[in-house]
């Protein structure tokens, strides 16, 4: 049985990806900070073996300790889904909150690096592996007030290319999935629990569901070994650019 390691499995795209990869027959390492969410997911996925890891991706020592703690049956990671991340705030650069900047750069960029660095020896040692980094349309198109979030996702795009180059000799496939608007807890986090403002982001059109993105990820990781779908942009049909959305 192949092993997939999913960060941010407690919610949204990560959670839906866990469901999709369980259906595809993977055993799962499910990571996030909210353990009770992960335990609830494990109960839902009782048909496949799961192992839970609770850590903050911004804490390098915690990331290393969590990966080191994996039981033998889960150590040979075949697929890594670097999904954990969020936006924090939506403000002009001149009035942005530096704490929000730290949260985004530490989580979306350094967290992805820490997890990858900790997991990669299991792949390079075996000369096999598949890494999917969750970027965003925001990493390819900067929008007003998105500044640091967009920069963090542009970094994910650059790191995906860098990883693909460096890991080529090790037969490790590296890819990036860039969603547009997906209705998850993303906007609730961005707007710090303001559920009304968060809901307004998805009003008047049909946003993507987490499952839509998860199905693409499952397709990518189940391609034959000679195929790497290196980059995917997935948008709601009503979205044409980061900020151009057809509303009813
Ligand atoms: P959610 O808020 O629903 O999920 C975010 C997940 O990331 C949660 O499971 C959360 O787990 C985890 N996470 C966040 N910060 C940390 C941290 N510091 N340490 C460990 N885990 C963390 O949002 P989405 O599912 O939408 O987001 C998933 C990814 O998709 C993100 O990288 C996001 O940037 C990207 N994305 C989202 C889009 C959207 O419109 N929703 C569009 C494009 C990209 P916990 O809180 O339990 O730690
Ligand atoms: C999330 C999508 O457009 O809100 O990455 O930045 S967007």
Proportion of the chain above pLDDT 70, given as a percent: 100
This model's pTM is above 0.95: yes
The CATH number given to whatever domain includes residue 50 is: 3.40.50.720
Q: Using 50, 70 and 90 to split pLDDT, how confident is the model at 8?
A: very high
Q: Does 239 reside within a domain?
A: no
pLDDT at res. 41: 98
Tell me whether residue 246 is in a domain.
no
What percentage of the chain carries pLDDT values higher than 90?
A: 100
Cα distance between residue 123 and residue 79, in whole Å: 9
Domain that holds residue 127: 3-234
Nearest CA to 129 out of 178, 169, 85 is that of 169
Residues 81-109, mean pLDDT to the nearest whole number: 98
pLDDT tens digits, residue range 13-56?
Answer: 999 999 999 999 999 999 999 999 999 999 999 999 999 999 99
- Ligand 1 center–CA 86 separation, angstroms: 5
242 located within any domain: no
For residue 24, what pLDDT is reported?
A: 98
C-alpha 155: how far from chain center: 14
Q: Is residue 115 part of a domain?
A: yes
Task: Name the closest ligand to CA 211.
Answer: 1
Confidence of residue 240 (pLDDT cuts 50, 70, 90): very high
Does residue 158 fall inside a structural domain? yes
Q: How far is the CA of 77 from the centre of ligand 1 (A)?
A: 21
248 found inside a domain:
no
Q: What confidence score (pLDDT) does residue 213 get?
A: 99
Q: What distance in Å separates the CA atoms of residue 29 and residue 113, rounded to the nearest whole number?
A: 18
Ligand nearest to the CA of 52: 1
Does residue 121 belong to any structural domain of this protein? yes
Please report whether residue 101 resides in a domain: yes
Give per-residue pLDDT as tens, 53-87: 999 999 999 999 999 999 999 999 999 999 999 99
Mean pLDDT for the chain overall: 98
- What pairing do the DSSP bridges indicate for beta strands 239-241 and 244-245? antiparallel
Q: What is the pLDDT of residue 133?
A: 99
Confirm or reject: Cβ of 116 under 6 Å from ligand 2.
no
Q: Residue 117: what pLDDT?
A: 98
User: Ligand 1 in contact with 85 (CB < 6 A)?
Assistant: yes
Dihedral sign from CA coordinates of 117, 7, 223, 75: positive
Q: How confident is the model at residue 7 (pLDDT cuts 50, 70, 90)?
A: very high
Residue 77: its pLDDT value, please? 98
Q: How much distance in Å is there from the Cα of 77 to the middle of ligand 2?
A: 29
Residue whose CA is at the smallest distance from ligand 2 atom 5:
136
> Cβ neighbours of residue 167 under 8 Å, at least 6 residues apart?
120, 123, 124, 129, 131, 174
What does the pLDDT look like over 124-172, one tens digit per residue?
999 999 999 999 999 999 999 999 999 999 999 999 999 999 999 999 9
How many domains are there within the chain?
Answer: 1
Q: Catalytic amino acids?
A: 149
């Amino acid at each position: 049985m192949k092993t997939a390691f999913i960060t941010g499995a407690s919610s949204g795209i990560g959670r839906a990806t866990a469901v999709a990869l369980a259906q595809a027959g993977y055993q799962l390492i499910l990571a996030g900070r909210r353990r009770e969410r992960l335990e609830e997911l494990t109960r839902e996925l009782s048909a496949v073996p799961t192992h839970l890891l609770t850590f903050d991706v911004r804490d390098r020592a915690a990331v290393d300790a969590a990966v080191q703690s994996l039981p033998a049956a889960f150590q040979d990671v075949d697929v890594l889904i670097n999904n954990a991340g969020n936006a924090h705030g939506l403000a002009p650069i001149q009035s942005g909150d530096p704490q929000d900047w730290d949260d985004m750069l530490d989580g979306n960029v350094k967290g992805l690096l820490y997890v990858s660095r900790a997991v990669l020896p299991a792949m390079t040692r075996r000369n096999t592996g598949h890494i999917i980094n969750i970027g965003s349309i925001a990493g390819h198109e900067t929008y007003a007030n998105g500044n640091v979030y967009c920069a963090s996702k542009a970094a994910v795009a650059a790191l995906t290319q860098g990883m693909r180059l460096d890991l080529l000799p090790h037969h490790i496939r590296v890819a990036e999935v860039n969603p547009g608007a997906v209705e998850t807890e993303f906007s609730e986090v961005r707007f710090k629990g303001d559920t009304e403002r968060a809901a307004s982001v998805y009003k008047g059109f049909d946003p993507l569901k987490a499952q839509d993105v998860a199905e693409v990820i499952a397709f990518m990781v189940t391609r034959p070994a000679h195929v790497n779908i290196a980059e995917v942009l997935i948008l709601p049909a009503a979205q044409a650019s980061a900020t151009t959305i057809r509303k009813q």
